[in-house]
Structure 1
Amino acid sequence: MPTHRISPTSLRHRLNLAGRRLCVVVAGATAAASVVTAPLVHAVPAHAAAFTYGQDVSGYEADHDWSASSAEFGIVKATEGLSFLDPAFARHWQELDKKGIVRGAYHYGHPGNDPIAEADYFLSVVNQQPAKPGDLLVLDLETTDGESVADVNTWAKRWLEYVKAKTGVTPMFYSGWDFADTYGHGLGGYPLWVAYYGRAKGDVTPPADWKTWTIHQYTDTPIDQNVSSLSPQQLRALGRR
């Protein structure tokens, strides 16, 4: 997912793609842009027809019509860093509730900040909205802020562990394939949402230590589109109790 910041920096990133998801266009190519528990992560179905279709949006798609969408799950941006609140979060959250599909909220992380402070900020915003069983929580990590591989990896672990301890939910980890493969070692216990463009739906192998993927984001045209190897019921089992 793009950084989706409504700010000059974000717009610059959006224009030059530096802030967009890291995603591999063809096998072995360089990333095109910036991107459960174990028993609940299932193997990829043999046929695309078995996949669950979903979409993700942020303030860039503030007026997205969820009622007309064929998505069976929707994941929306809530926060970024230590202070950015996506202006469309509340609307998207409420519209997804009306539609009745699986929904999730994501936080765009910045490893240059304290991970606990960022996690607390994310939870403070999400907890202001009515919750329901099955709501997913997601860390979107696509930038290093100049930190080392080891430091970014440690940052991600601390954020994910903290959110799990505070909520009882095992958060999902989102990133582009290359970024996840470089910075995601040791995170295989967290459900993987991986961006890998230019490939057929579900035609992706898991990076780093993951044994399988949970969601594959296969394109951002005309909107971010995804498939999950899990059914809606299985996705809900990854969320709030």
Structure 2
Amino acid sequence: MRHILTIALILTLAACGGRPRETTQSTASHTATPQRANFGDAHPQDFGSVAPQDHRIHGIDVSKFQTAVDWQTAQANGVSFAFIKATEGGDQADPMFDQHWNGAARAGIPRGAYHFFYHCRPAIEQARWFIAHVPRTRGALPPVLDMEWTPTSPTCRIRNSPEHIRSEAQIFIRALQSHYGQRPIVYTAIDFFEDNQMWKIQGADFWLRSVAAHPSDLYAGQHWTFWQYSGTGQVPGIIGKVDLNAFAGNARDWSAWLAASQH
């Protein structure tokens, strides 16, 4: 009950100012036929019988580390979607978020925001922080919860129990779904997924990291919507390396998923 009341308080605050306003800005090319991905990779992998190239729809995820992005060029070379880091924990905001968010929109690239979870802070505080920085934008992709272990963190290396982690994930997911009206996405890697039995999470799509095997091989039986297949991608229009991702279906599936998932 305390969690429900807290979420209700967040939504009340969001309507009273101090929060990003809902905007009608939307991307322009949601119905356009996606371009074939013209991507390279600094460290290409052999994925076996099913490779990333066997998937039709590709995109990227970016943060402050991608300081120079020509979004029009990236779109022309096959970037069909982008996930953009917005926040981390309960007190950090990515300094490149606004620039990436607006640049992707101008290029007609569907984009969504993601939050990097901090295991030493309550999920409801982190949901409040994300909501404070990411506007409800018509046409945006669903919000993303990025949950991973943080063994190199200077301030938080705690490993909570699987039950606690899944409970916190559900609190965060419910808060975002209530605010944005969209089914959130959970991003994770195989160690975290298995250690915490993340397949038990309800009410979210999955975005899975697998840089040397197809998700069907590494996450046997797990349904997924997005696959992060490289952290060393090379995309025209982007200086330096960037994460590469694929959507699970074909162009028709992509159009249907967009229509069903966007705000």
TM-score normalised to structure 1 length? 0.72
**1:125 corresponding residue in structure 2:** 133
Cα drift, residue 227 of structure 1: 0.6
SS at match of 2:182: coil
Alignment pair present for 1:193 and 2:207: yes
Determine the C-alpha separation between the residues in 2 that align with 1:238 and 1:81.
29
2:118 to 101, 107, 110: 110
Amino acid at match of 1:66: W
Larger Rg: 2
1:68 corresponds to:
73
Measure, in 1, the Cα distance between the counterparts of 2:189 and 2:52. 23
Matched, 1:138 2:157: no
1:162 aligns with 2:175: yes
Q: Show the counterpart of 2:230.
A: 219
Residue correspondences, number? 195
**One-letter amino acid of the counterpart of residue 136, structure 1:** P
Aligned match of 1:204 in 212, 216, 223?
Answer: 216
In the alignment, is the contact (CA less than 8 A) between 1:153 and 1:185 conserved in 2? Answer: no
Match of 2:190 among 170, 177, 180: 177
Kindly tell me: are residues 47 and 197 of structure 1, through their superposed partners in 2, closer, same or farther at Cα, counting changes over 3 Å? closer
Deviation per CA, 1:179-232: give whole Å up to 9, x if none: 123221321541110001123xx5534748x74111111111131001111344
Give the one of 228, 238, 241 matched to 2:247.
Answer: 228
TM norm structure 2: 0.67
Matched with 2:161 is 148
Please list every run of 5 or more consecutive structure 1 residues that lacks an aligned counterpart in the other structure: 1-24, 28-44
Alpha-carbon RMSD:
2.6
- One-letter amino acid matched to 1:79: T
User: Which is worse superposed, 136-145 or 86-95?
Assistant: 136-145
- 1:104/1:136 contact within 8 Å kept: yes
> 1:114 is aligned with what amino acid?
P
Residues 26 and 154 of structure 1: CA distance in aligned 2, closer, same or farther (over 3 Å): farther
| Structure 2 letter corresponding to 1:237 | A
What is the deviation of 1:46?
Answer: 10
Q: Distance in 2 between matches of 1:138 and 1:190?
A: 9
Distance change (3 Å), C-alpha of 1:100 and 1:158: same
